[in-house]
């Protein structure tokens, strides 16, 4: 599941082949931008902000969000595609490389000056160079009655945590997902721990929360409903939580280890 670490790593790989290079062909396969042609523009940089990705030229910014199924693939020209062509939403080419965005949940081409319309509402970027812990704590704790799970998942508070990270982080910190954020003893410590988890995982494909990268041993609670807790043996429980029925997310917890 793409979360902040996946998007950071994607930006890193795209930056390696695009930054400083001219786009010789672009193909945007979404109706609103199908006629846009950025050929001839030089890529300045590729940056991530939470789970959003921006490919920047002097005049434009290609904004994408992977959502659940999206991915950017970087490959040499004339290399066979690794996903069906009908799932491609963007194709960017230099004289040597091809970058293909598949199943992107969001894809838009913005004027560079309008970039903040896409990401300006986001909270501090957990993996950004200007990460601001104090501001993230202030935002996440602004509504003391809100469940801590929802406060940490809200990208307006801090950008980069997804469902998997928040479930695993709350287990590690011994907190029930439903606990009001105002009752968390040290929210700064919780967020700092999650930021370190993201930072460790950003450079490896096999994400792990337990210290083991073996399949089936890398999660404490996420998607382990009815399995036994690795610490105490109690069965992991599953439920849903959201600010409204349309925003509900799956939660997983150990009723013994989390309070």
Secondary structure E strands in 59-105? 60-65, 71-76, 88-93, 97-102
**Domain hosting residue 242, numbered range:** 133-253
The reply to whether 104 and 152 lie within a common domain is: no
Secondary structure E strands in the chain? 25-28, 45-49, 52-56, 60-65, 71-76, 88-93, 97-102, 106-111, 237-241, 249-253
Tokens of 123: 């909270």
Task: Yes or no: say if 165 and 137 are a contact pair by the CB < 8 Å rule.
Answer: no
Residue 53: inside a domain, yes or no? yes
The reply to whether 199 and 166 lie within a common domain is: yes
Q: Could you list the active site residues? A: 2-3, 51
The reply to whether 227 and 150 lie within a common domain is: yes
Specify the CATH number for the domain of residue 172. Answer: 1.10.8.50
The reply to whether 142 and 49 lie within a common domain is: no
Buried b (16+ CB within 10 A) or exposed e, 83-117: eeeebbbbbbbbeebbbbbbbbebbbbbeeeebee
Tens of pLDDT, residue by residue, the chain (259 residues): 689 999 999 999 999 999 999 999 999 999 999 999 999 999 999 999 999 999 999 999 999 999 989 999 999 999 999 999 999 999 999 999 999 999 999 999 999 999 999 999 999 999 999 999 999 999 999 999 999 999 999 999 999 999 999 999 999 999 999 999 999 999 999 999 999 999 999 988 889 999 998 888 999 999 999 999 999 999 999 999 999 998 899 999 999 999 9
Residue 259: inside a domain, yes or no? no
Answer with the one of 90, 119, 148 that is the final residue of a domain.
Answer: 119
Q: Which of 181, 140, 162 is nearest to 222 (CA)?
A: 162
């Amino acid at each position: 599941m793409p979360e902040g670490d996946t998007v950071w790593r994607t930006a890193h790989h795209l930056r390696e082949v695009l930054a400083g290079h001219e786009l010789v062909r672009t193909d945007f396969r979404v109706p609103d931008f199908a006629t846009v042609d950025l050929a001839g523009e030089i890529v300045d940089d590729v940056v991530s902000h939470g789970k959003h990705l921006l490919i920047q030229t002097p005049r434009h910014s290609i904004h994408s969000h992977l959502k659940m199924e999206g991915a950017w693939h970087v490959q040499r020209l004339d290399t066979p595609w690794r996903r069906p062509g009908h799932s491609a939403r963007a194709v960017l080419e230099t004289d040597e490389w091809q970058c293909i965005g598949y199943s992107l949940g969001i894809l838009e081409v913005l004027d560079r000056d309008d970039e903040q319309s896409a990401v300006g509402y986001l909270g501090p970027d957990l993996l950004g160079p200007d990460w601001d812990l104090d501001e993230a704590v202030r935002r996440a704790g602004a509504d003391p009655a809100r469940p801590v799970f929802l406060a940490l998942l809200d990208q307006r508070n801090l950008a980069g945590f997804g469902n998997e990270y928040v479930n695993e982080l709350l287990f590690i910190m011994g907190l029930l997902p439903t606990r009001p954020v105002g009752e968390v003893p040290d929210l700064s410590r919780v967020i700092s721990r999650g930021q370190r988890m993201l930072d460790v995982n950003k450079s490896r494909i096999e994400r792990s929360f337990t210290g083991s990268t073996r399949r089936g041993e890398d999660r404490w609670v996420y998607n382990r409903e009815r399995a036994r807790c690795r610490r105490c043996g109690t069965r992991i429980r599953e439920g849903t939580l959201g600010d409204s029925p349309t925003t509900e997310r799956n939660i997983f917890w150990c009723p013994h280890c989390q309070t």
